[in-house]
Structure 1
Amino acid sequence: MRGLHFAALLAAAFLHPIPDSSAASVFRCEDANGHVTFTRHGCASDQLQRLQDARNPTPGGGEAIPLADPGRRVTTTPASPGEVVIVGQQDDGCGNLLTSSERRQAIIRQEIRSGMSRADVENSLGKPDRVTASNGQQRYHYREKRKGGGSRQVSFDEAGCVKK
């Protein structure tokens, strides 16, 4: 009896429509010079802010989308080379001291730089031979694989970022 009740509940859950969770609030920000940016975090106080419809319906899963009207032509001006506006930036947890390009080059060259994470160090040098910790700070110890090679030590701060 319990199995039948569970199956009925499961079937009801699959038949219930799920609301569209792919929609997000996107703001269209226009400054006094006419530069337009789109952001999910709102606009600066000196910009004109409008809410942008950001729904992205699944193909074949909704209403028909009207095609372009051939009688109506819209002229566009080519984009002028201007200032690039960064709306949002990912925080790497280490103060964003390195750009992604600098980080990638350091890993390829097996260099350790301030602002790298533990994962970056392991991508560059591999798993450490030994790990020590004191006062909330961790150290990775590496032994050189070559004959007569020395050792290398990388220190991390409390946030897990390389410190020099």
Structure 2
Amino acid sequence: MLRLICAGLCAALLHPSQEPLASTVFRCEDTSGHITYTRNGCPPDASQALQSAENQTPGQGKPIPLAKTSKSQSSKSDKNNDMQVLVTGAKQDGCGNRVTGSERRNAIIRQQVRSGMTQSDVESSLGKPDKVTTQDGQTRYQYTDTDGNRRQVTFDEGGCVKGKR
């Protein structure tokens, strides 16, 4: 009897129900008509509505078609509508985002320095510098390896790696 109960319990744990994942987010619209979706609520000056966001489980059920592309179906009313897209949550590195995320990761893994990297990126790639000098608003990191070879990285006033001229 105990084996039967244990087998039933194990079967229930190994085969949980496959309910689709869903979340509820807030749809915020400010006075100028900009729409933002967030999980943390809306600012006081924006209207707030709950929006259901569902993730369908891949490979189950009927395929969901992607957006259909149409060739130049723009109408005159679309041309007059100057809606702007507001991107929230985009990371600004302070260096104009000149180095993309994957390029930055690859450079750090390979212990390389790219123009536009931040000081923290360089320290992640090469470690703490052996010597730091500052002159005329420019900072220089100097590194010395075990063979006595020296390497120098120069940063501009904003703390970004300067490019070679």
The TM-score, its normalising length taken from structure 2, stands at: 0.51
Task: State the distance in 1 between where 2:50 and 2:159 align.
Answer: 37
**CA RMSD across the alignment:** 3.5
The question of whether the paired residues in 1 share the 8 Å contact of 2:26 and 2:48 is answered with no
Gaps of 5+ in 2: 1-24, 38-45, 53-62, 70-84
Moved over 2 A (4+): 23-28, 37-40, 76-82, 85-89
**Where do 1:58-97 residues align within 5 Å?**
78-80=65-67, 87-88=87-88, 89-97=90-98
Structure 1 counterpart SS, 2:128? coil
Structure 1 counterpart SS, 2:125? helix
Post-superposition shift, 1:87? 2.5
- CA, structure 1 residues 87+141, in 2 after alignment: closer, same or farther (shift >3 Å)? same
Letter in structure 1 aligned against 2:155 = F
Q: What is aligned with 1:110? A: 111
**Where do 1:76-155 residues align within 5 Å?**
78-80=65-67, 87-88=87-88, 89-145=90-146, 147=147, 149-155=148-154
- CA, structure 1 residues 51+157, in 2 after alignment: closer, same or farther (shift >3 Å)? same
For 1:99-145, what per-residue CA distance to the aligned partner results, in whole angstroms no more than 9, with x for missing partners?
Answer: 11110000001110011001000000000000000001100000022
Q: Percent identity?
A: 50
In the alignment, does 2:40 pair up with 1:39?
no
Alignment: residue pair count: 102
- CA, structure 1 residues 38+106, in 2 after alignment: closer, same or farther (shift >3 Å)? farther
Post-superposition shift, 1:24? 6.6
For 1:52-103, what per-residue CA distance to the aligned partner results, in whole angstroms no more than 9, with x for missing partners?
Answer: 52599xxxxxxxxxxxxxxxxxxx9533277xx8824221100110111110
In the alignment, does 2:49 pair up with 1:53?
yes
